[in-house]
Amino acid sequence: MPRRLGWMMVLLAAGLAAPALAQPDPWAGTWRGELTSGSDAGTSVSLTLAAGGEGGYTGLVNGLAPNAEVRLDRIVVDGGQVTVAAATDTDFGPLSFVYTLIRDGRELSGIGRVTAGGHGFDVSLALSRARRADVPQPQIEPRIGYFSGRWRFEYTGGEFPPLSVGTREGTVSFEALPAGPFVRGRAESDLFGEPYEEVWTIGFDEATRAVVWVERRPDGGTLTALGNWTSPIAITFLTAPVEADGRVHVLRRVVRTTSDSAFAVVDEFSVDGGPFRRLGNGSYLRISGADPDAR
């Protein structure tokens, strides 16, 4: 009887623990609403937050500058309060802002300060997050021009040669190649305090929706991945096997095209045909050179 009771307690504990592990992030997602200043009519804005490395967040704001997404420079979460800040250049001059917002369930509200062209004014924000079933999935038309431009990236992951050199952040600038549907990018980052550079080439066949992604490293190593872009929300890749130290390594990558100005990467790896395990994840935000075919 005691043994039977013990197993029941274990099963009950497991059942109670599962929902806790599945709790959604209270901040991550897109919050939409209005920004108001004094008696002026409200301006529609949206704030998007995504979980980053070491428990932090990355994000962007839409609506302050025409046809532009502003990447957040600072995000500080303190209990039920978040402070976000950013500065950028627009067609109307420099723009900066700082907001302090309080979360109440699916509502986010507070005050802030916006400075545009040297003139500052106080603002109020009232945002809400729609329920998951009501949030439309991003629909990105597959096209090689999606990658054109300059992106800032942050990658958090393990140092695992020959698949990954580890955590780093930097920029990558993609330019179209004259022969065929290809872009080539120079990825520049900081690795253990030293400058580090790779060359990335991406190709896309519109007829088959096949993608190829080739990374060339300064040590001469090459990683070649074949991908499928039939989905408007993600690209799935699998690399050709790479042999090192007598073992065979394979990388699986998912690129989630969250918007025309942002995408996220999740990498998993397998050794000698074993199960895939998480290697790292990255976030990319476009900082210049918007795709002219974006829609």
Residue ending a domain, among 115, 134, 153, is 134
The answer to pTM > 0.75 is no
Q: What is the pLDDT of residues 160-216, one digit of tens each?
A: 889 999 999 999 999 999 878 999 999 999 888 889 999 999 999 999 999 999 999
Q: Alpha-carbon distance 101 to 85, whole Å?
A: 11
* Average pLDDT of the chain to the nearest whole number: 82
Same domain, 187 and 284: yes
Bridge partners of 189, per DSSP, are 170, 196
Same-domain status, 164 and 81: no
198 with 101, same domain? Answer: no
| Rounded Cα–Cα distance for residues 288 and 290 (Å) | 6
Which backbone phi and psi does 222 adopt, to 5 degrees?
-135, 135
Domain co-membership, 85 together with 106: yes
CATH number of the domain that residue 264 is part of? 2.40.128.20
Q: What is the Cβ-side half-sphere exposure of residue 173, based on CA atoms within 13 angstroms?
A: 3
- Classify residue 24: in a domain, yes or no: no
* 125-163 tens-digit pLDDT: 999 986 644 445 556 889 999 999 999 998 988 888 899
* One domain, residues 61 and 92: yes
Domain boundary among 134, 155, 173: 134
Domain boundary pick from 95, 112, 134: 134
Same domain flag for 190 and 282: yes
Residue 288 structure tokens = 């210049």
Domain match, 262 and 159 both: yes
pLDDT tens string 254-291: 998 878 888 889 999 999 999 999 999 988 988 887 55
**Structural domains counted in the chain:** 2
CATH number at residue 65: 2.40.160.90
- Note whether residue 265 is domain-resident: yes
AA identity, residue 231: S
Q: Please check whether residues 90 and 186 belong to one and the same domain.
A: no
Q: Does residue 156 sit in the same domain as residue 278?
A: yes
**Whole domain around residue 77: which residue ranges?**
29-134
Q: Are residues 151 and 120 located together in one domain of the fold? A: no
122 lies in some domain? yes
